[in-house]
Structure 1
Amino acid sequence: MEKLFFKLGLKDDVTGPVGKIQKELDGLAGSAQKSFTQVGVGVAGMWGAAQGIDAMLSPAREMNKALAEVGSLDVNGAALGKLNSAALEFSIDYGVAADAVAASAYDIQSSIAGLTGDELASFTRASNVLAKATKADAATVTDYTGTMFGIFKAQATEMGKAAWVEQLAGKTATAVQMFKTTGSQMSAAFTSIGANATAAGIDMAEQMAVMGTLQATMSGSEAGTKYKAFLSGIGGAQEQLGISLTDANGNMLGMMDILTKLKGKFGDTLDVAESDALKKAFGSDEAVSLIKLLMADTEGLGESIAKLGNVDGMSKAEQMAAGMVDPFDRLSAGGRVLTTVLGQALLPAINPLIDAFADGSATLLGWSQEFPNITRWVGYGALVLLGFTGVLGAAAAASGFMRIATLGLNTVFGPLHKAVVWGKGVWTAYSGSQWLANAALWGFPATWIIAAIVGVVAAVAALIYWWDDLAAAFADSGWSDALYAAFDFIKLFTPIGLLFTFFDEGFDGVFKAILGWFDTLGGAVHWVLEKINLLPGVDISMGDDAIPSTSPSLEAPRMAAVPAGGVQQKIINAQSNSQSRTQSIGKVVITTEGKQDAQSIREQLLMAGA
């Protein structure tokens, strides 16, 4: 319990200074928190305002960036305005970002030179509708549109570029639907074949039908490769096979006419020999593979060619694209379009102000280079402010950590402290009850009697045990004889004294001790009378009858007359006699020097008696 109370006291001594530190930290943390709150509120307000402005102007800025990129290709402002309108309308119709639509016009303008007026806007819209309808990305379809324009440029120029691109979008979307392919695969097929089919006089619908049919069993690029090999072998094949595969103008016959002539020569199917003959005629396995695949379903191929040839405009593509639009995307895009329009109206007024700030930054940059010392001290000031901010933040964090630690310690030591306080109360109650019991015990008379007996016994035992030391302490004074007599009395006439003598010397020792005690008592009485006779006018006779003794004295009675010199000389003589004294008992003379204790005198008397 004492150790535990000491620990609690140590905790109290420590928590006092810690509490002061905590108070100081709390005050600093409170000030820091207030300052941080003010700064935070201000910064949050500024940040919120900046974010609001950015959210309002960001769509317009992104749209203007895209238009500026297209404008860098020498597109005039009127064309850019129409492109902007077309992109915004497309965004609302199909739920995509307007700036992404406008950005795709850059690739279109790069691959198709000379687009003017409405043509750029039409190409951009048609390409993005086709991308949506065929699940291709805008970049892929834009590249595809450029490739197809390069292949069918004469047809596009004849039809009008805007009308042609819409027809391209419609036919491609229809082909994707018919042959279960994608815009990306169709683009890869036309990229592989290039302008070879067009140069041979094959229209777009037939080319799409042939490569769409082939893509039922192979990729778009492989279909284009096989078709290209077939076209390359037409001239040699008609010589080898002895059949005409071109018309009067030298243009290649249509695929349906060629397949009809080949069936007329080899039948509906080809055996190994016939395949070898075709390979030799066309010069490649790819051409023979194409013929075999198309001959298996010439009727279906004819229907596909006819269907694609009847497509006019891009209504099919728009239908397919609209079917994949999410209404929520349209709603989100609509909101962004409205924000874009609002921002585009505000930016002309805001941009000059932003430019002024930018010019100001350039001016500050020049000043910093012209006055480097000022720039350095401005930097120092910023560092100091940031340092103070860090210190205040650290103080706030330290205060929080200390509170957390204090809470944890209270959680751990709280129950222990309560237990110790309870134990201390129990101990106090026990101590009080013990004090009351002791008071009641000492108030009982028998307790004092028992305590006195115990004290006397203890004192006698201690006197006997330390007798030699006590006797030595009183040896130089005349009180030694009286002390010896008292000690012998205690040893002989008290139970504890007799008990010590009995255990030390037996019954004989006890008897001899009693006899010796009377001699010791006589010596003590004689010493007392001597001291009294030293007083002026006192003369007490110390004859034999005055000193009880167990043996008769052989010396003549001492004279009580005061010698020459008076009492002073008597005292000097007495002091000399105390140092060397001679006693005669019978015929034995014992001479002693120095101190004599009762035991020594008793032993000498016994030796004399012997």
Structure 2
Amino acid sequence: MEKLCFKLGLKDNVTGPVGKIQKKLDGLAGHARKSFTQIGVGAAGMWGAGQGLDAMLSPARDLNKALAEVGSLDVDSVALGKLNRAALGFSIDYGVAADAVAASAYDIQSSISGLTGNELASFTKASNALAKATKADAATITDYTGTMFGIFKAQANEMGKATWVEQLAGKTATAVQMFKTTGSQMSAAFTAIGANATSAGIDMAEQMAVMGSLQATMSGSEAGTKYKSFLSGIGGAQEKLGLDFTDANGNMLGMMDILTKLKGKFGDTLDVAEGDELKKAFGSDEAVSLIKLLMSDTDSLSESIAKLGNVDGMSKAEQMAKGMVDPFDRLSAGGRALTTVLGQALLPAINPIVDAFANGSATMLGWSQEFPNLTRWVGYGAVVLIGFTGILGAAAAASGMMSIATLGLSTIFGPLGRAVAWSKGIWVAYSGSQWLANFALWGFPGTWIIAAIVGVVAAVGALIYWWDDLAAAFTDAGWSEALYAAFDFVKLFTPIGLLFTFFDEGFEGVFKSILGWFDSLGGAVHWVLEKMNLLPGVDISMGDDATPSTSPSLEVPRTAAVPAGGVQQKIINAQSNSQSRTQSIGKVVITTEGKQDAQTIREQLLMAGA
């Protein structure tokens, strides 16, 4: 039995070339990464420095831009300085940006000319506080302030613009609180009525109280429109109704006095006929609608007029505005204000440097126009530099893609390699277990018995194959020598020979008994041959004891059939020969009596060959 070997191998013909390509790409990609890292670090440092400087200077620049816009309206530097301080203080108090406060001053200065000194700062502060208190945007309230200044300009100039604007802010905030309206609605109401009430001698408090009361059931602009219709028809109505609505100086009476006279004529309520009469008197439905609404609750209107008349300053507006301020907004605005002050201190020194760079850009622009060829080659150089940068980036990207591909191959070949290693390990384990099984099998006595049987079968087969040589050996050397030669063959060429190696003495005794039996068998065979010679025509030679006969006989003198070394050496010699097999049988003498035919001669030759 020959050993069966199994070998499993996996040869990777891909990873090697890919690895070489990967190595070169990694080298180029490494330089690219190093260069990009240096560029990135440098650019990040420059960007960080620029961002830090911009963060420090940006609030100051924004505020200075707003101040510069206001200065374009012929506001002197003194007024701008006061506006700057007012805007910074207001930003900390109310948590808003200082530049937004300063920007609102542009609209105020545009609508109210002639503001000087503290007036622009006061108007800006009061307008922004009112916007905060009434939840309106600064632009709306700024426009409202300009409109109100135009309506009450005489009163503003009489009491002082700064004082007047503070009262405007206080009264408007109080009216918004009393009548559940907003600053935007109050602005719309006064925009609709214009200066009609003021021209009639009605003060600000009464106008706000009337339009505020009307806004309980209508919008601000509608309230202003109704009030305007009422004022337009008051002169003709007093003649038609026979009532006097003016004083001795020709100024219109207050709203409460007019309503009192109307109630005295028509009562506390108006029916349809009375409404038609009033419409004919005032000339419009809007005026009649105003009278009906205000006559239903004259006491509340009287209280509102009195309360608004008592407002002095803008404390109410400040109180309402501060009540809506978030402390975190104040903290943020305070930090921005400090940064603004620091930036304003640095900008005078930094601005000349920035201007120099800007002037340099203008100079380079002139050179580019004066030397177009040089400009073109500079552009070529920039393109080449960008191209090299792109190539390095592509190399880095290719290296990354190759790394991903290598990882994919490793993912495929890794498990296969491990499977091969596992299969080899399994095969080694199987081989070891097979050797252990063989060892255990040959250690079992029954195995030796089976092997002995197989050996006997093999020996019988060998005897059959080499029977001629054994027969010759039996003839020349006798039965005992031939059996001893067979015994040597069995010991060397059959598995049972292992038993003879370990138990030679015991089995040799057994075989001696067997050989004795074969001797007896030889005697029996000799007796049978003698009896066969008694048959007519039969004469078989039996060595020295055989009796000559005139019958046909076959004499085959032979040389020694068993060479030195016995049957074992004979078999070895036979195996070492080529496929052709020769044997010398010596001299063949055939004695005949009578006439012999071809068939008889062929039979005698066959017997001689046997």
Q: TM-score, normalised by structure 1?
A: 0.70
- Separation in structure 1 between the aligned mates of residue 380 and residue 371 of structure 2, nearest angstrom: 15
Indicate if the aligned counterparts of 2:205 and 2:308 stay in contact, CA closer than 8 A: yes
Structure 1 residue 149 displacement after superposition: 0.6
Is the partner of 1:233 in helix, strand or coil?
helix
- CA 1:239–1:21 in structure 2 vs 1: closer, same or farther (change >3 Å)? same
Three-state SS of the structure 1 residue aligned to 2:598 is coil
Structural mapping, 1:149-164, within 5 Å: 149-164=149-164
Deviates more, 1:428-437 or 1:109-118: 428-437
SS of alignment partner, residue 216 of structure 1: coil
AA paired with 2:21?
I
Matched, 1:250 2:250: yes
Q: Which residue of 2 aligns with 1:376?
A: 376
Aligned to 2:284: 284
Q: Which residue of 2 aligns with 1:79?
A: 79
C-alpha distance in 1 between matches for 2:433 and 2:164: 116
The farther-off stretch of 275-284 and 258-267 is 275-284
Give, in angstroms, the shift of residue 25 of structure 1: 2.2
CA distance in structure 1 between the partners assigned to 2:265 and 2:113 by the alignment: 47
Name the counterpart of 1:116: 116
Query: Are 2:598 and 1:550 aligned?
Result: yes
Structure 2 match to 1:264: 264
Residues 217 and 354 of structure 1: CA distance in aligned 2, closer, same or farther (over 3 Å): same
For 1:567-599, what per-residue CA distance to the aligned partner results, in whole angstroms no more than 9, with x for missing partners? xxxxxxxxxxxxxxxxxxxxxxxxxxxxxxxxx
Deviation at 1:420, TM superposition (A): 3.3
CA distance in 2, matches of 1:241, 1:230: 14
Q: Aligned residue for 1:235?
A: 235
Q: Residue type matched to 2:98 in 1?
A: A
Residue of structure 2 equivalent to 1:342? 342
User: Partners of 1:390 and 1:451 in 2: how far apart?
Assistant: 87
How far has the Cα of 1:437 moved from its partner? Answer: 12
Work out the CA distance in 2 between the residues paired with 1:548 and 1:159.
181
**CA-CA distance at 1:551 after TM superposition:** 9.5
1:328 pairs with 2:328: yes
Q: Quick one: which amino acid aligns to residue 340 of structure 2?
A: T
Supply the distance in 2 between the matched residues of 1:68 and 1:32 (Cα, whole angstroms): 49
The ranges of structure 1 where at least 4 consecutive aligned residues each deviate by more than 4 angstroms after the TM superposition are 427-438, 444-454
Q: Secondary structure at the match of 1:115?
A: coil
Partner in structure 1 of residue 396 of structure 2: 396
- Any idea what the Cα deviations from partners look like across 1:228-251, whole Å, max 9, x if unmatched? 111111122212212111222222
Aligned-partner Cα distance in 2 for 1:341–1:103: 17
Distance 2:459 2:226 in 1: 133
Partner residue of 2:61?
A: 61
RMSD, aligned α-carbons: 3.4
Aligned residue in 2 for 1:179? 179
Aligned amino acid, residue 380 of structure 2? Y
Following superposition, the deviation at residue 330 of structure 1 comes to 1.4
CA distance, structure 2, for counterparts of residue 548 and residue 409 of structure 1? 91
Question: What do residues 80-132 of structure 1 show as CA deviations (whole Å, max 9, x unaligned)?
Answer: 11111111111111111111111101000111111111111111111111111
Q: Following TM superposition, by how much is the alpha carbon of 1:412 offset from its aligned partner in structure 2, in angstroms?
A: 5.5
Could you tell me which amino acid in structure 2 is paired with residue 251 of structure 1?
A: N
Structure 1 residues not aligned, in runs of 5+: 458-544, 553-610
Matching residue's letter, 1:263: K
**1:377-432 Cα deviation digits (max 9, x unpaired):** 21221222222222222322333333344445544553343223322444577689
Deviation for aligned residue 1:550: 3.2
User: How many angstroms does 1:183 deviate by?
Assistant: 0.7
Residue 549 of structure 1 and its aligned partner are, at CA, apart by 6.2
Q: Please state how far the C-alpha of 1:433 moved relative to its aligned partner.
A: 9.2
TM-score (norm 2): 0.70
Give the direction of change, closer, same or farther, for the CA distance of 1:112–1:448 in structure 2 (3 Å limit).
farther
Change (3 A) 1:548 1:301: farther
Check whether the contact 2:15–2:406 (CA below 8 A) recurs between aligned residues: no
Question: SS of the counterpart of 1:13?
Answer: coil
**Once the two structures are superposed, what CA deviation does each residue of 1:296-320 show, in whole Å capped at 9, x if it has no partner?**
1100000100111111111111111
Q: Is the deviation greater in 236-245 or in 147-156?
A: 236-245
Runs of at least 5 residues in structure 2 that lack an aligned partner in the other structure:
1-6, 443-450, 466-592, 601-610
Q: Counterparts of 1:84 and 1:548 in 2: how far apart (Å)? A: 160
| Match runs of 1:299-318 below 5 Å | 299-318=299-318
Please tell me whether the aligned partners of residues 111 and 146 of structure 2 are also in contact (alpha carbons under 8 angstroms). Answer: yes
Superposed counterparts of 1:194-593, under 5 Å: 194-411=194-411, 414-427=414-427, 550=598
Structure 1 residue aligned with 2:27: 27
Over 3 Å counting, the alpha-carbon distance change for 1:450 and 1:362 in structure 2 is farther
TM-fit CA distance, 1:26 = 2.1
Q: State the AA in 2 paired with 1:123.
A: F
Q: Sort the Cα spacing of 1:5 and 1:365 in 2 relative to 1 into closer, same or farther, 3 A.
A: farther
CA–CA separation in structure 2 for the residues paired with 1:300 and 1:22: 91
1:433–1:86: structure 2 CA closer, same or farther, 3 Å change rule? closer
Say if 1:236 and 1:428 are closer, same or farther in 2 by CA, change over 3 A. same
Q: Residues 452 and 221 from structure 1, CA distance in 2 versus in 1: closer, same or farther, beyond 3 angstroms?
A: farther
Q: 1:449: Cα distance to partner?
A: 9.8
Matched residue type, 2:203: D
**Aligned position for 2:103:** 103
Kindly tell me the number of residue pairs found equivalent between the two proteins: 464
Shift of 1:73: 0.7
Find the residue that maps to 2:251 and give its secondary structure: coil
- Cα deviation for residue 227 of structure 1 reads 1.0
User: Aligned letter for 2:331?
Assistant: L
